[in-house]
Amino acid sequence: MKNAADSLVENIAMRDGVPPGWRRLYDRLIVDLYRLDCAAEVTAARAHRGELEVTLASHAAMLAGVDRLIDAARRASAALCEECGAVASLHYGNGTVRSLCGPHCRLELAVQAATERLFEGERAEALRWVDAFAFALGEAPGERAMRSQQGLEEVLALIRRIESGVYC
């Protein structure tokens, strides 16, 4: 059977599946599990419907306090941006739920619009296009151009012009 120190090292390695804005929260959870002298084994850690989802090996879920810690981390994640860790709220769109701050929500709206309306569902192409658009405006990366509502409106206006064939 593993000891808590071995589990700590392995559980920290599972953070790759956690969005960047939630990694500090995940790291705190793993340290808190360690402090319980818990050899809980994380089998999955990811974003799911705007919250941090952490799955443990079945034997670990029975330990006292573990469920409480995981539930607290899940609830806290819904108020933190998945991308940067800033204060956020849940945003629904395109069949997904994400916890995003204002600037990252605007970036997501621009990428969704470009994905659906210009790139036939190719999200990677839409991301590259938004970054290129931002670069043309003197901003890089794309999220910097979307920090304001005006930046988002400019991207959406450009998409409308491209769709109607009036962009020169």
Domain residue extents for the chain: 4-77, 101-164
Q: Mean pLDDT score of the chain, rounded to an integer?
A: 87
pLDDT at 142: 61
- Residue 60 in tokens: 């670990």
Higher pLDDT, 2 or 126: 126
pLDDT one-digit tens code per residue, 66-91: 889 999 999 999 999 999 999 999 99
What is the predicted pLDDT for the residue at 37? 74
For the entire predicted model, the pTM comes to 0.81
CA distances from 29 to 59, 67, 83, 134, 150 (A): 18, 11, 18, 36, 38
Counting every residue, how long is the chain?
A: 168
